[in-house]
Structure 1
């Protein structure tokens, strides 16, 4: 009996018992799924986890005073305060089961995305 198997590179027919398939190309043998469905759900889950980590880090940095929201435009601004960063690390250690190095890494990655001046205020100053 021949079955059709879906591959990322196309559809192939094989005889039952013949399992010679291209390496790392098999997605699903059921016709219920399209190629790539499994990867998309895993990627979506990863993006959701990364976004949750980012939101957690932002809240730690805001609570500690390492980040501040611009009163006029709402942008987050790095306060360049190392003691506030250390306070965020300590608060993160209390809330998270991760080690200090991982917490520092997450917090520093988020902090690196923000400048020390509000982009809205800079644009108004240039006008």
Structure 2
């Protein structure tokens, strides 16, 4: 392969990516990735029989500009995994919590518990944010 050009071999890295279908502006027709790495295949959660990626939950939460920060908690209740979203909300928390829960239900087909938390109570990260936490119980 050498050190020049784009590699023609692809490996099963476990990364989730989006392939760019339109040709490059320079005219090359090689495979390109749009937006970098979107996540990992092994990040997938199974919640009540539904495959859910944390990035899908993040995409829904980010639609609400009054949510400043969030954390996804996954915990086991009986034999099933449940999801709790901790949300730092500026504004009217009750309305935003209900809207987030409804958006997750409509888009992903699962019910989540959304809980407003005080501002600045969730951890902040300078580099890659760790927004998924697995708990052993509720």
TM-score normalized by the length of structure 2:
0.29
TM-score normalized by the length of structure 1:
0.31
* Bigger relative CO (Cα 8 Å, ≥ 6 apart): 2
Return the index of the structure with the highest Cα Rg.
Answer: 1
Q: Which has the higher strand share?
A: 2
